[in-house]
Amino acid sequence: MSLNVDSAVVAFTFKGGMLPMTVMELSSADPEQIRQQLAGKFSQSPAFFQHTPVVLSVEKLDEPHLALERICAVCRDHKLLPVAVRGGTEPVRQSAWALGLGWFPPVAEGRARVLESVGSSPVQEVVREEPVSESEAPTLATRLYRGTVRSGQQVSASDGDLVVIGAVNAGAEVLAAGSIHVYGALRGRALAGIHGNTQAGIYCRELEAELLSVAGNYKRSEDIDAQLLGRPAEVHFTKEQLEIKPLG
């Protein structure tokens, strides 16, 4: 009989990773006000509200006894899944833990990531940092990637543009601080302007994307005009919304 204890099966491993996460920054602690706005957002963009995990940022609130459980219930009623809270006092942190949520400390001043709103509102929608105007946008380096970005793979250019000489398969993800250029089919997820650069864009030879984002403003595949699919396309953030049009 063998007693080899070294042959035990490893059940899991811990790994660090960079996952795009929606942050819902609250500027009101009133659950009913949040409910009313979420209802309006849901009618405008139901595809966004598909069991999307969110981090609730309470850094702008001065509410030592925040009605966190009610706010989480409002989110779940609209198919958003709170997974953690960022900021707040010690009672807020204890409430988050009691509800089975994670807790993050406030981000450093000037680095706060907010959610893009459509008009002024207490709740905002998708992750991005403070917007960078065209005159303030820094000169960005370019990363060149040759080959296919395969399912489950992530390729990023955290300091500049990303150029992919190949395709981006379904289930793959490309991210860039600047613009993204795909010289092939774009079937996965593409997130440009990840640090808030609203002047960034996405350009591809064949549009079949699962998700598109510029400076945190998202569109999913079901929100893309079917007439643009399978064709060269470009994506920009203009007039407070994501615009997709034929390239050329």
What is this structure's pTM?
0.52
Per-position b or e across 29-43, b if 16+ CB within 10 A of its CB: bebebbbebbeebee
Confidence (pLDDT) at 15? 64
**pLDDT at residue 183 greater than cutoff 90:** yes
Higher per-residue pLDDT: 157 or 7: 157
pLDDT band at 209 (very low <50, low <70, confident <90, very high): very high
Same domain? For 34 and 79 the reply is yes
Higher per-residue pLDDT: 38 or 9: 38
Please state whether beta strands 22-25 and 52-57 pair in parallel, antiparallel, or not at all (unpaired): parallel
Count of domains for the chain: 2
Higher per-residue pLDDT: 146 or 216: 146
pLDDT tens digits along 98-108: 999 999 888 65
pLDDT tens digits along 59-81: 888 876 789 999 999 999 988 99
CA–centroid distance for 153 within its chain:
17
The full DSSP string for the chain is ----GGGPPP-----------EEEE-S---HHHHHHHHHHHHHH-GGG-SSEEEEEE-TT---TT--HHHHHHHHHHTTEEEEEEES--HHHHHHHHHTT-EEEPPPPTT--EEE--SSS-SS--SEEES-B-TTTPPP-EEEEEES-B-TT-EEEETTEEEEEES-B-TT-EEEESS-EEEEEEE-SEEEE-TTSBTT-EEEEEEE--SEEEETTEEEEGGGS-GGGTTS-EEEEEETTEEEEEE--
CATH at residue 194: 2.160.20.70
Same domain? For 90 and 120 the reply is yes
Is residue 13 assigned to a domain?
no
Ranked by mean pLDDT, the top range of 87-91, 182-186, 224-228 is: 182-186
Cα separation of 240 and 209, whole Å? 21
Cα separation of 163 and 154, whole Å? 13
Confidence (pLDDT) at 20? 62
Is residue 6 assigned to a domain?
no
Cα separation of 198 and 128, whole Å? 10
pLDDT band at 12 (very low <50, low <70, confident <90, very high): confident
Same domain? For 234 and 182 the reply is yes
Confidence (pLDDT) at 48? 65
**pLDDT at residue 113 greater than cutoff 60:** no
Same domain? For 112 and 153 the reply is no
Higher per-residue pLDDT: 179 or 219: 179
Q: Which residues contact 103 (CB under 8 A, 6 or more apart)?
A: 84, 85, 86, 88, 92, 93, 96, 97
Confidence (pLDDT) at 215? 86
Confidence (pLDDT) at 58? 92
Cα separation of 42 and 24, whole Å? 14
Same domain? For 28 and 114 the reply is yes
Is residue 3 assigned to a domain?
no
pLDDT tens digits along 13-64: 776 555 667 788 899 999 999 999 998 877 766 666 777 888 999 988 887 6
Is residue 134 assigned to a domain?
no
pLDDT tens digits along 131-140: 444 444 445 5
Tokens of 219: 């569109």
CATH at residue 45: 3.30.70.260
Higher per-residue pLDDT: 237 or 136: 237
pLDDT tens digits along 82-103: 999 998 888 898 999 999 999 9
Q: Which residues contact 158 (CB under 8 A, 6 or more apart)?
A: 175, 176, 177, 194
